[in-house]
Amino acid sequence: MNKLTILLAISLLLGCTGQPRQANLKFTAIEGNGNRIEIEFSSDVNLNTLFSENRTQRQVLSELICSLNGDENFDFEHRLEVFSNGRVMNNEISSGNQFIFKSALLFWRSPKNELDSDVMLTNEEVAGIISKQDTIPCLYRTTVYLARPYYTKKMHVPTNLLRKVIDSGTLQN
């Protein structure tokens, strides 16, 4: 009975923790940097301080994640087949109430066996995968202690600009 009471209390806590407003993201720039591609984007919410007012919640993992093959299911429990992800770097405030962020993305393929590690994609593989679409969907996702993951709204990154960076030869395999 005691365990049931504890589980019920934890469930109630998780269900009652308020989520911040879902941010709108807007793609602003892209450039190559070593073996990564840096995506710059703006947000109408400061992603660095989403949970700062609630001292019981701490952001654990914050990242920009993009699906390379059009799969738009970004749920934490769902595994994307081919994707890019990267930590989101500090922001600066631009004009108005927009916050500017950058994320250095690496490109991955999920293994067939869930126990294996993700496999890094080559530039040629990425170029082949993204050539089938005009944009790739991306969003910011953060996991938080004692709460459901937080997701922004999706933004779309133009694949022609991504291809231009890959084709420029500035990226290292």
Q: Note down the domain range covering 28.
A: 20-167
User: pLDDT by residue (tens digit) across 117-162?
Assistant: 888 898 899 999 999 899 999 999 988 777 788 899 999 999 999 9
* 4 is a domain residue: no
* 154 is a domain residue: yes
* 14 is a domain residue: no
* 115 is a domain residue: yes
* 3 is a domain residue: no
* 60 is a domain residue: yes
* 107 is a domain residue: yes
As a whole number of angstroms, the distance between CA 148 and CA 153 comes to 16
> pTM higher than 0.95 for the full model?
no
* 113 is a domain residue: yes
Say how many domains are in the chain: 1
User: pLDDT by residue (tens digit) across 78-130?
Assistant: 889 999 999 998 767 666 778 889 998 989 988 777 777 888 898 899 999 99
